Chain A
Amino acid sequence: MNSKSNRDSQSNELQMQHPLLGSEPLLSRIDPLRRGLDGGSGIACQLFTKSTSNGFTLDPPFFTRLTADAGLSVQAKRQLLNEIAPFGVAWVGDSIGTLDRTQDDSAVEPFQRLPRIASLQLDEHFDVVSLDQAAAIELQLCGVPFQAIANSRRARWTPGLPVEIADFEQLEKRVGVLRVLSGGKRPIGALVSPAAVYEDVRFLIDSGFDFLTLLVDVQFGMLSKKSLRLASLETTIEQSVKAVEDSGAKTKILVSANVVNGLQMFRCLQMGASAISIDAFLVHSKPMETAAVKETFGSVLSTYTATVSSPMAWAKSALTQLKEDLNDCAVYAGTLMRP
């Protein structure tokens, strides 16, 4: 009995000392016995408001910003989201089709049931109708205001406050007004490109945000595997998790980074991130275009006749594989961590 309690206390100390284990012990987040066959529920991300506990759960904890940042057409967005809809991936961006409650179920596209996070730019007015249709609201605290054309890609992600905010204290009220406009039913978050991570996260938590999206890497789009690195992934997660712990809040940390496989994704979750973007994973999973071959009438015709499925069909199989990889990692780590 004594040896067991000693072992438990040692394990707790180890978890407390370990900088990568986040606010909750790993065992309480990833338990193979509770997780079940599906494997997702142990690492689900719950995005809820602080006061009314309204919100939604991301299970598995994935989200995508490609719908907001990659410059996809509306049709491409619909195709991509319809493919990843079975996984319940949250997506960030403007509304591309409203869900009519009176609509017949068969007429509803799968993506319309996905949780959408409405993104508000630095100088964007509050569109009540658009906000009403969103599952959550995200204030983008970076970019170039007044819709001026950015000189460089990096300028778009320069940290900044909304244009009408004259001092830091007013941000809390801006969160408050969004809470009133959304009826207190939608989680309010902020997108930040990390600079002084610890101080920024403490300030944003004090301002009343329910979740924070840390933009560590920015994908250039679906056509390029390149990404723009803004900060170190490990340091960013580590400092933000410490800031959340120190503040005693339950603010969720979402991370958008160049994470391209299940192991890296699991590592981010293990470090304390609540949800991870699958943007880089999707871009890297996209099948490469075949090498140029001599085009004949027959080859051109065959490509047109053979294309029956969605051009984004690869996303579904890639996400299936990702979920399995993540599950394997969780089972492996969970087994190792059992006392």
Chain B
Amino acid sequence: MENLSELTHSFDLETISPLEMLEALRRSNGVTISSVNIANARGQDFIGCGFRNVSEVVVQGSVGDFGFSSFGDGECKISGNAGDFFGHSAASGILVVRGNVRRSLGALGIGGLIAVYGDAGDRAAVGLQGADIVVRGSVGAFAGLGMQSGTLIIGGSAGGDLGKGSRGGTIYIRGEAESISSDIEEQRLREPDRLKIGMLLLKSNIKSTGKEFRVFRSTHTET
């Protein structure tokens, strides 16, 4: 580990474990760290877990399973791919993945924005509880499984059983879905929807408009 200054940290994952990395950041005692650079990320699990009070995180490479779980309060950019459960329980901030993400993207996220420039696997946005997720490519089966609130924007197509078990939240999709669950229904795209899509795409740094999307919402009332 090499410390450039008190407010900037650089970590080499060949010499430090994700747990040690988190411990090093926690020693800052709540002081906001301006930036963290993580090098040699080669798909190790648990990278960036519990990162809070960090303004900017840059990861060179790919992260493994449970990457940036419980992330909050900052912006994170990952140059490679991400494994299962990326952004699990995300609380706030922005997570950007330039590559693809495997299963259960943004599971149980309660806040913040997760943007994926590639494709996402099955169960994207499972149990979402308030976070916003933008996938520029396609998603696998069971996208939006058990969503309670929040937004899932799919730029490409979706696999089977889109929105199964959904009890709230909104799913926007530009392409086609293999099958759509009976738990969600298509609604007319209104101006607030277009504005919301446009704003989230803008925050995700994706050039598109909200005109071509279809909108689906839960058929169940929120309990």
Q: Which residues of A contact B (CB under 8 A)?
A: 123-128, 145-149, 163-164, 166, 170, 173-174, 176-177, 179-181, 183-184
Contact between B46 and A176 (Cβ–Cβ < 8 Å)?
Answer: yes
Q: How far is the CA of A280 from the CA of B126 in the complex (A)?
A: 37
11 intermolecular pairs with C-beta atoms under 8 Å apart: A123-B108, A125-B89, A125-B129, A146-B148, A146-B167, A164-B88, A164-B123, A173-B66, A177-B88, A181-B22, A183-B26
A128: B residues at CB distance < 8 A: 50, 52, 70, 91
Given contacts A125-B89, A166-B123, contact A149 B223 (CB under 8 A): yes
Supply 9 further A-B pairs (C-beta < 8 A) apart from A125-B89, A125-B91, A173-B85.
A145-B146, A146-B165, A164-B88, A164-B104, A170-B85, A173-B45, A176-B45, A180-B49, A183-B22
From the candidates A127, A164, A176, A181, name the one contacting B107 in the complex (CB within 8 A).
A164
Which residues of B73-93 are within 8 A (CB) of A?
A: 84-85, 88-89, 91
Contact between B146 and A166 (Cβ–Cβ < 8 Å)?
Answer: no
B123: A residues at CB distance < 8 A: 164, 166
Q: How far is the CA of A148 from the CA of B127 in the complex (A)?
A: 12
Contact with A along B90-106 (1 / 0, CB 8 A): 01000000000001100
Q: How far is the CA of A149 from the CA of B222 in the complex (A)?
A: 11
Which residues of B29-79 are within 8 A (CB) of A?
A: 45-46, 49-50, 52, 65-66, 69-70
B88: A residues at CB distance < 8 A: 125-126, 164, 177
A163: B residues at CB distance < 8 A: 107-108, 126-127, 145-146
Q: How far is the CA of A163 from the CA of B167 in the complex (A)?
A: 14
Shortest distance from the beta carbon of A275 to any chain B beta carbon, whole Å: 28
Q: Which residues of B contact A (CB under 8 A)?
A: 18-19, 22-23, 26, 45-46, 49-50, 52, 65-66, 69-70, 84-85, 88-89, 91, 103-104, 107-110, 122-123, 126-127, 129, 145-146, 148, 165, 167, 223
Contact between A146 and B50 (Cβ–Cβ < 8 Å)?
Answer: no
A148: B residues at CB distance < 8 A: 167, 223
From the candidates B65, B70, B145, name the one contacting A126 in the complex (CB within 8 A).
B70
Contact between B109 and A125 (Cβ–Cβ < 8 Å)?
Answer: yes
A170: B residues at CB distance < 8 A: 65, 84-85
Q: How far is the CA of A128 from the CA of B66 in the complex (A)?
A: 15
Contact between B108 and A125 (Cβ–Cβ < 8 Å)?
Answer: yes
Residue of A nearest to B110 (CB): A125
Q: How far is the CA of A187 from the CA of B126 in the complex (A)?
A: 27
B122: A residues at CB distance < 8 A: 166
A173: B residues at CB distance < 8 A: 45, 65-66, 84-85
Q: How far is the CA of A148 from the CA of B110 in the complex (A)?
A: 18
Contact between B66 and A166 (Cβ–Cβ < 8 Å)?
Answer: no
A166: B residues at CB distance < 8 A: 103-104, 122-123
Q: Which of A126, A164, A174 is most buried by chain B, counting CB atoms within 10 A of its CB?
A: A164
Shortest distance from the beta carbon of A323 to any chain B beta carbon, whole Å: 39
Q: How far is the CA of A174 from the CA of B98 in the complex (A)?
A: 25
Shortest distance from the beta carbon of B112 to any chain A beta carbon, whole Å: 12
Q: How far is the CA of A161 from the CA of B3 in the complex (A)?
A: 41
Contact between B69 and A164 (Cβ–Cβ < 8 Å)?
Answer: no
Shortest distance from the beta carbon of B94 to any chain A beta carbon, whole Å: 18
Closest 8 CB pairs of A and B: A164-B107, A125-B89, A126-B89, A125-B108, A177-B66, A146-B146, A164-B104, A180-B49
Shortest distance from the beta carbon of A136 to any chain B beta carbon, whole Å: 17
Contact between B146 and A123 (Cβ–Cβ < 8 Å)?
Answer: yes
Shortest distance from the beta carbon of A142 to any chain B beta carbon, whole Å: 16
B109: A residues at CB distance < 8 A: 125
Q: How far is the CA of A128 from the CA of B88 in the complex (A)?
A: 12
B65: A residues at CB distance < 8 A: 170, 173
A183: B residues at CB distance < 8 A: 19, 22-23, 26
Contact between A180 and B108 (Cβ–Cβ < 8 Å)?
Answer: no
Shortest distance from the beta carbon of B194 to any chain A beta carbon, whole Å: 29
Q: How far is the CA of A128 from the CA of B18 in the complex (A)?
A: 16
Q: Which of A124, A125, A176 is most buried by chain B, counting CB atoms within 10 A of its CB?
A: A125
B108: A residues at CB distance < 8 A: 123-126, 163-164
Shortest distance from the beta carbon of B104 to any chain A beta carbon, whole Å: 5
From the candidates B70, B148, B223, name the one contacting A181 in the complex (CB within 8 A).
B70
Contact between A180 and B104 (Cβ–Cβ < 8 Å)?
Answer: no
Contact between A177 and B126 (Cβ–Cβ < 8 Å)?
Answer: no
Contact between A126 and B107 (Cβ–Cβ < 8 Å)?
Answer: no
Q: How far is the CA of A173 from the CA of B110 in the complex (A)?
A: 21
Residue of B nearest to A149 (CB): B223
Contact between B50 and A181 (Cβ–Cβ < 8 Å)?
Answer: yes
B145: A residues at CB distance < 8 A: 163
Q: How far is the CA of A145 from the CA of B79 in the complex (A)?
A: 34
Shortest distance from the beta carbon of A149 to any chain B beta carbon, whole Å: 6
Contact between B223 and A147 (Cβ–Cβ < 8 Å)?
Answer: yes
A124: B residues at CB distance < 8 A: 108
